[in-house]
Structure 1
Amino acid sequence: MGVTAGAVWGRAEQQDFRSRVRGTLLGAAVGDALGAPVDGLSLEEIQEAYGAEGIVDLVPGYGRRGAVSHLTQLTLFSVDGLIRAQVRRDTGAWHPPTDLHRAYLRWAATQRDWGPDERRKEDGWLAREEWLYARRDPARSLLIGFGDDTMGTLDAPKSPGEAGPEAAARSAPFGLLVGWEPQLVVQLAVECAAQTHGHPVAYLAAGAYAAIVHGLARGESLDAAVQQTLALVAARPGHQPVSDALQHALGAVRQGMPTPARVAELVGAGTAEGLLAAAVYCALVSEDVRHGLCLAVSHDGPSAAAGALTGGLLGALHGETALPPAWLAELEGRPTLLELADDFAMEMTQGPALHGPAGSSPGWLARYPRG
């Protein structure tokens, strides 16, 4: 589906795109919810608690089944920031990393405040969702990165030694910018990742992940999307660990039946490139979404990030209808996720009608203020 920025969307194209947007966001959230309760446990501990096969269904975390971690919270604010960037473009102010940074600062406020401040109309609707004010073990790098108003950049990144997977795990929405050229998608994801994760492995893994989602959202196969991504990141300084990890994932597919040991080997030390490799591997070898996600979370590493990254790929690849309905029924925040997904799809396909030169919808600008 090679869609360009000014393209006229047919009805079938719009429906396919909306299904992939929903699939990506719901898939990432379901994977997060599946992995979060066992995040940081060893495989032995997981098997002891849940049986020899490890995780095969949602289990309680944060007091309920289907609860999501900070990774899903941040992914939602990534979407919010991207919509706001498009809306602000009409004003002539066009710098998406700044709009994303403002969105992430709104997330940071949810981690400090007791609940929404109704007086702050410029926050838009997402920041008024009370369930997002739950603190779900946010990584220290995130609290530092968004702890003040200074925005990390590639020239001066926040936490230059931070190589964890959290920035990649909030980057699926960048891949849904199907009207953008792939290299611009990579650049935006990389710049936004550097706001909290300054190690090249972390921000290039975020760029690579966004590029793979971008290929899938445009209707490519996963293998083709990975190959294109390898070509895209090859020109960037410091890419080798990320490129090697992706090649390792492709090679592992040919090594027989998928096992937790193979996933653990790909995850390695739990840094961003290992989690990206594990997610690509699990998505490539999965019989279906359920199988791929269970495989992704039963290991010694960061299970929530592995589940979120894998779920985003499978959702972008197969669309919303491939996700397990029973898991979606229990997913925390599902109405918010769907509302935001549909708003994103509408903005990307019909933005000019909502806030263009020909007129604007006051309701839309109340949801996504230009300020």
Structure 2
Amino acid sequence: MAEGREAAERYRSRVRGCLLGGAVGDALGAPVEFRTLDGIRAEHGPAGVRDYAGGTAPGYGRITDDTQMTLWTVEGLIRARNGDRGPGFDPVPAVHDAYLRWYRTQCSREPVWEPSGWLQGRAWLYARRAPGNTCLGALGEAGNGAQGRGERAANDSKGCGGVMRSAPFGLLPAGHGDDDVFDWAERAAGLTHGHPTGSLASGALALLVRRLVEGDELDAALDAVLAALARRPGHEETTRALEAARAAAGGGAVSAETVESLGGGWVAEEALAIAVYAALAHPGPEEFADALALSVTHSGDSDSTGAVCGNILGALHGETALPPLLAPWVEGRGDLLELADDLVWAFAPGSGPLRASPRWLERYPAD
């Protein structure tokens, strides 16, 4: 019984660590997105971005659309669980509906209608933090009926807007298979990003998180991801990017220049590769801040690469390893951890009575 409690607490810590770690990485990288590496070093020093403020104070970390959409992914998964009617569980349509709720928050400064569920009623999530045009365009078309529920977007984008929100699929408990987790994340990314690489990189991240939450070390989890990719058509770009990240981590001195050799992070496979490289270069729990700094100190999409790196290391080490000068100061921390716990409870064995309660269904209406 004690072993079971320890496993449950370890799982909860990794769920919370993954989601909060992603938010911390997002907020750390956001102020330097679009900055050159030389400009970042001039302001932050040779060690790169180590705090939100760029000085000695912890500052306050403002999240971006990366964390917003990750939260809506979680909300969609919970609502799919509430509507689960047995065999054939498929969360992607409910996650699509959740993304449409996020889209509506981006079209208004504050809640102006009766919100559907508690998350849509949180005023701070209505801030518009440079959302990706690809996501806005695809979801706007879907909301207007131009794209059916759960259909692949009619574009050829492989931007990082799919992978940066896909980690929550990997947090689903082990009763859902590895292939299911990969496929659901792949399909959910395809709702906004039509290029196969944009989807496959998202499935790869979800599976990587899944294996880490289940207790694999980072190298073993990466082996599982590469094996899963090899079975899927169109995997070559994502596979090459991950193999390059692994080779770079084992090939010499760790540097921001090596990060930039992997790309800018604007497209899905590059964002994933940069995050994986930073995690492999600084894999220990005491190195979490070093990995995040490495993942955001480059001339590219720093918030997305930081978010994905934070997801990975949070899933690997759990909540207690999060940098103590960063984690308490990230925007929306309380709501984020509340949502993480709700995900754990929604999928826990014997959670049926909870999910059938009026208060829970008001909080997460079944989709």
Shared fold (TM-score greater than 0.5)? yes
Question: C-alpha deviations, 1:139-158, integer Å up to 9, x for none?
Answer: 10010111132586899632
CA contact (8 A) 1:36 1:68 kept: yes
Separation in 1, partners of 2:207, 2:133: 26
Change in 2 beyond 3 A, CA 1:67/1:197: same
Pair 1:331-2:326 in alignment: no
Change in 2 beyond 3 A, CA 1:93/1:212: closer
Pair 1:275-2:271 in alignment: yes
SS in 2 for 1:65: coil
Separation in 2, partners of 1:210, 1:351: 25
Give the superposition deviation at 1:199.
0.9
CA contact (8 A) 1:141 1:159 kept: no
Q: How does 1:213-252 map to 2 (within 5 A)?
A: 213-252=209-248
Pair 1:23-2:17 in alignment: yes
Change in 2 beyond 3 A, CA 1:240/1:93: closer
Give the superposition deviation at 1:211.
0.6
Identity of aligned residues (%): 43
Q: How does 1:46-125 map to 2 (within 5 A)?
A: 46-59=40-53, 65-90=60-85, 94-117=89-112, 119-120=114-115, 123-125=116-118
Q: Which residue of 2 aligns with 1:3?
A: none
Q: Which residue of 2 aligns with 1:290?
A: 289
Q: Which residue of 2 aligns with 1:299?
A: 298
Separation in 1, partners of 2:313, 2:304: 14
Change in 2 beyond 3 A, CA 1:55/1:69: same
Structure 2 residues not aligned, in runs of 5+: none
User: Over aligned residues, Cα RMSD in angstroms?
Assistant: 2.1
CA contact (8 A) 1:108 1:146 kept: yes
SS in 1 for 2:231: coil
Separation in 1, partners of 2:113, 2:152: 33
Separation in 2, partners of 1:363, 1:257: 54
Pair 1:143-2:136 in alignment: yes
Question: C-alpha deviations, 1:246-294, integer Å up to 9, x for none?
Answer: 1111111221121000011112573211111111110111151100000
TM-score of the aligned structures, taking structure 1 as reference length: 0.91
Give the superposition deviation at 1:137.
0.3
Question: C-alpha deviations, 1:9-67, integer Å up to 9, x for none?
Answer: 9221211111000000000000000000111111012112222332121127xxx7300
Separation in 1, partners of 2:239, 2:149: 19
Change in 2 beyond 3 A, CA 1:91/1:230: closer
Q: How does 1:5-44 map to 2 (within 5 A)?
A: 10-44=4-38
Separation in 1, partners of 2:210, 2:149: 22
Change in 2 beyond 3 A, CA 1:124/1:91: farther
TM-score of the aligned structures, taking structure 2 as reference length: 0.92
Structure 1 residues not aligned, in runs of 5+: 1-8
Question: C-alpha deviations, 1:79-124, integer Å up to 9, x for none?
Answer: 000000010014889431110000000100110122124524xx11
Change in 2 beyond 3 A, CA 1:248/1:151: farther
CA contact (8 A) 1:101 1:151 kept: no
Misfit runs of 4+, over 4 Å: 91-94, 150-156
Pair 1:255-2:251 in alignment: yes
CA contact (8 A) 2:14 2:213 kept: yes
Q: Which residue of 1 aligns with 2:312?
A: 313
